[in-house]
Amino acid sequence: MKKQHSRNVKKLLMIMAGAALQGYSMGVFLFPNAIPSGGAGGLTVLFHHWFHVPLSIALWMLNSSMLVFAVYFLSAASAMGTLLGITVTSVSVNLSAFLWETPFHNEWLDLALGSVLLGIGIGILLRQGVSNGGIGIVALIISKYRSVNPATPLFIINGLIFILTAYVIDWEIVVQAVICQYVSTRIVGWIYQFSFQAIYLKLPFLPLGWRKK
């Protein structure tokens, strides 16, 4: 019982850390340069353009509808974890944008670092079995039922949404958006498959006769 409680606390902290890092990357490096961080942002822009829905309401509607899919296809625990991640990410975006600013003041350097940090944050969330919200939920569902790394469907779906958004709104955004998605999803794939135990067992200082107690 105590061991299970410890695992639950660790998972909760990891979800909050991943979501906070994701929000930091958006608030400091990506959003100030108008770089879309994912497909949800692209769909939000499209809904606003087509139906004149306020951006904040469109984003909320999108994430809320995705949570319904999370409950149905994944689990209530995954949906609650995703809801926590979305909430922490939103708070982190606002706080980060208010408290910090990029040290580079160069959109390409911001794009590079922001994409890496975004990928780490999303990768941490997916390792805990929760989504970063929006299209990440769809990617996690595909990963569960098709036994594939969620980074692959995440990149494909977001890429298609970016192309559609660029076709409808402005082609100039697609280059940075696709670069951001390529870098971040590569990081997501690496984080998702990373094994701390495998690295630990290969450390040279371990005695040959070592056995896990």
Prediction pTM value? 0.75
The per-residue pLDDT for range 140-159, each reduced to its tens digit, is: 888 888 888 887 888 888 88
Q: Give the Cα separation of 30 and 203 in Å (integer).
A: 37
Q: Is the pLDDT of residue 126 over 70?
A: yes
**Crossing angle for the helix pair 135-146 and 55-69, nearest 10 degrees?**
20
| Nearest CA-CA partner of 93 in 125, 69, 121, 134 | 121
Q: How confident is the model at residue 209 (pLDDT cuts 50, 70, 90)?
A: very low
Query: Do 140 and 192 touch, CB atoms closer than 8 A?
Result: no
Backbone CA torsion sign across 71, 77, 81, 87: positive
Q: What SS3 state is found at 131?
A: coil
Q: Is the pLDDT of residue 199 over 50?
A: no
Name the percent of the chain lying above pLDDT 90: 14
The per-residue pLDDT for range 144-198, each reduced to its tens digit, is: 888 888 878 888 888 888 888 788 877 777 788 888 888 998 898 898 887 655 4
Query: Do 88 and 19 touch, CB atoms closer than 8 A?
Result: yes
Q: Give the Cα separation of 113 and 19 in Å (integer).
A: 16
The per-residue pLDDT for range 70-117, each reduced to its tens digit, is: 777 777 777 788 788 888 888 888 888 888 989 988 989 999 999 999
With a CB cutoff of 8 Å and minimum separation 6, the contacts of 27 are 92, 93, 94, 95, 96, 97, 100
Q: Is the pLDDT of residue 131 over 70?
A: yes
**Crossing angle for the helix pair 151-168 and 135-146, nearest 10 degrees?**
140
Query: Do 122 and 188 touch, CB atoms closer than 8 A?
Result: yes
Q: How confident is the model at residue 204 (pLDDT cuts 50, 70, 90)?
A: low
Query: Do 48 and 54 touch, CB atoms closer than 8 A?
Result: yes
Average pLDDT over the chain, rounded to an integer? 80
Q: How confident is the model at residue 124 (pLDDT cuts 50, 70, 90)?
A: very high
**Cα first-last separation, the chain:** 20
**The residue type at 187:** I
Ordered by start, the domain boundaries in the chain are 2-201
The per-residue pLDDT for range 19-33, each reduced to its tens digit, is: 999 889 988 998 888
